[in-house]
Amino acid sequence: MRIAKLTIKNFRSFGREGSVFNFHHKLNAFIGSNSAGKTSALEALRKMFGVSFAEREIIREDFHINEEQTTPLEIAELSIEVKIEFDDDEVQTIPPYFGYMVVDGEGTNPYLRIRLEAKWTKSFSANGDVDAKLLYIKCAEEEEETDDVKDPVPNHQRAYIEVFYVPAIRRPSEQIRYASGSILHRVLKRLKMDETFQEEFEASIASINDHFKSLPEFKDIQHTLTCFWEKFHKDQRYKEAILGFGGSDINTILKNIEVSFSPTGLHRKFQIDDLGEGYRSLFYLTLVCSLLQLENQLDDAEDHTDVQRPFLTVLAIEEPENHIAPQLLGRVISILLGIANQ
């Protein structure tokens, strides 16, 4: 399945007459001058199928304001719609959508219409009120629409399609942190750690703490800290102030994981922030491509009867050429084409 068409109306730089984009390949590009709406088009996809609620949230600034508007707005509406087509060999993706498919006529292939409709209303709130709905449109594009052809997309079906957005400003250090929503978190949260591994891991951390506590200087610091702490209060519950590596559980340790690069020509390894803008941008793309490939490999190797994986993942990259030397762009496009073909 793939997005074959994107229609945007009254969203950011797109006016009420609407703009239509047709996609004929697995790898597509928006090309245009500054402020032509390239970023807004990518953001439109993320508003529909972003992974987190924050990515999908519609705010006042998302509604287009006509330059001819001379009076304050009372109501504003926007819509973003995708047409999804299915390849002949994608039988497994059809059942959840079968009841929502439409056809243009006899002998034509069925397709799916999904639309985000949002309405902003002026209210006592400073930002007004926004009502947004993700809907299946159960009539062909050329047919007249009535209210009975619109069905809300169930929450659990939102996970069937996801947009992974790569911004123009690449900060790979944020994605290598073990924090919810980061690339590293998406991969590492699927690690399988049995009780034996966790017990051995906690014992290793305890051993490291014991090694430090055996140092005379460390003991002096611990003793002095505790003595002064006792002078400030008499509560027996918090009598001792113990120095050590905070947390022995695996999640606490993973939050401190980092990537380093070598050789560097210096007497130390490079961290991500030591890299130039070009290499940082390339490493961000490396993280994304690695994630997609690893998730595919894990999906092939595991039984996912209890886990819903997306039927369609859209990788939306803003300014793929950002900070990258021209002679490397061909390699970048080749890698992205390979990911698209997966």
Mean pLDDT of successive 10-residue segments in the chain (342 residues)? 95 93 93 92 95 92 83 88 87 83 91 96 88 96 91 91 89 83 80 84 84 86 86 82 71 81 84 88 87 78 60 90 89 88 78
Q: Give the per-residue pLDDT at 301.
A: 67
Distances from the Cα of 213 to the Cα of 207, 210, 245, 252, 266, angstroms: 10, 5, 11, 21, 33
Transcribe 148-187 into DSSP letters: GGEEEPPGGGGGGEEEEEE-SS--HHHHTS-STTSHHHHH
Closest of 182, 164, 171, 166 to residue 319, by C-alpha: 166
Task: Please check whether residue 315 is in contact with residue 342, taking contact to mean a CB–CB distance below 8 angstroms.
Answer: no
Segment 175-184 long-range contacts (CB within 8 Å, at least 24 positions apart): 175/284, 175/287, 176/257, 176/258, 176/259, 176/272, 176/287, 177/255, 178/251, 178/254, 178/255, 178/257, 179/255, 181/51, 181/52, 183/287, 183/288, 183/290, 183/291, 184/257, 184/287
Q: Give the per-residue pLDDT at 307.
A: 52
Q: Give the per-residue pLDDT at 294.
A: 82
Q: Give the per-residue pLDDT at 289.
A: 86
Q: Cα torsion at 88, 313, 52, 110 (round to 10°)? A: -20
Q: Give the per-residue pLDDT at 302.
A: 62
Instruction: Please name the residue that has the structure tokens 């061909």.
Output: 330
Helices (H), 233-263: 250-254
d(CA 86, CA 93): 8
